[in-house]
Copies of this chain bind each other. A is one copy, B any other.
């Protein structure tokens, strides 16, 4: 049904090699011939079969990107950074969503390997090093995004989340808050651990301050809303409990804000201050604009691709750690 390079060759009265050259090294072909071939190509509606090309060439021209949650604007921004840099390099990006689930993550990696992607960028859910090591042995390098590669020999671009968590908590403490509540999860997610650890460190510096933890199942707005409702349900207790929330990310922060606002019983920031994480665009547009820890999102994506290219060039692996930045808005009083 679909025309092949052989059909094109026949119609243009040249050999298949020439057709291929017209497509891939136009300089090698006489102008008149090229013209005839091009004419044949669109007479026949020929479109190159990428599978055949890849098979012969031995590799594809795409790279795989696995993110924790495509619906989180943080990751679409990262993806955007990756894509822009990749396009400049003639690579296309396959975007996959693990939804914070290890099984989906593994499945996506397996698919990427079948597709023989050039390399993989991943924001991992769980311990994927063994699988990635396998990929690397078979010639597919990878780079961690939004997560420090602690094992030597692996590249990564990340933000110092411990510091980010500390900055968030210190800011709240500086504003006089003493009963902090960390809302985030799943707790085995590294980013969450680090941010929590940072917050703990900051709280430990202040005598009468404390930090409780309200774990949630995922870093989504819905989970945040649920958490907000639980905070509301504490009712009068609240004042003996928490006067500030350090959220695992902005989605959680937005959710909590929405959740506690429902009955209007709790005022933000008067009764409850909130600090988010990521500084997605929506944070500034929130009911009460959210104070947040900004990460250079697109830049992380672009850098990650950069590191991947370095690996493909046989260069040394390296870890880039970017610094987060506190952006103060109304939600922290």
Contact = CB atoms under 8 A, between A and B. Distances in A.
B51 A116 contact: yes
A137 interface: yes
A77 interface: yes
Given A73-B71, A139-B1, A114 B287 contact: no
A291 interface: no
B285 A255 contact: yes
Contacts of A79: 70
A306 interface: no
Contact of A285 (B2, B110, B282): B282
A203 interface: no
Contact of A137 (B45, B77, B80, B92): B45
- State how many copies of this chain the complex holds: 2
A95 B284 CA distance: 28
A313 interface: no
A111 interface: yes
Contacts of A288: 287
Most B-side CB within 10 Å, residue of A80, A111, A285, A287: A285
A47 interface: yes
Given A45-B137, A116-B49, A258 B287 contact: no
Given A77-B71, A92-B111, A55 B45 contact: no
Contact of A52 (B1, B55, B110, B254): B55
Given A51-B51, A55-B51, A55-B55, A285 B254 contact: yes
A281 interface: yes
B97 A94 contact: no
A323 interface: no
A257 interface: yes
Interface in A101-152: 110-111, 113-116, 134, 137-139
B257 A114 contact: no
Contact of A139 (B2, B80, B282): B2
A6 B51 CA distance: 19
B287 A221 contact: no
A1 B135 CA distance: 12
A47 B131 CA distance: 13
Contacts of A284: 258
Nearest to A104: B87
Nearest to A108: B92
Given A114-B50, A254-B282, A284-B258, A71 B80 contact: yes
Nearest to A220: B281
A54 interface: yes
B48 A114 contact: yes
A113 B47 contact: yes
24 contacts: A1-B138, A1-B139, A45-B134, A47-B110, A48-B114, A49-B114, A50-B51, A50-B116, A51-B51, A51-B52, A51-B55, A51-B60, A51-B115, A55-B55, A70-B79, A70-B80, A71-B73, A73-B73, A92-B111, A95-B95, A221-B281, A258-B284, A258-B285, A285-B287
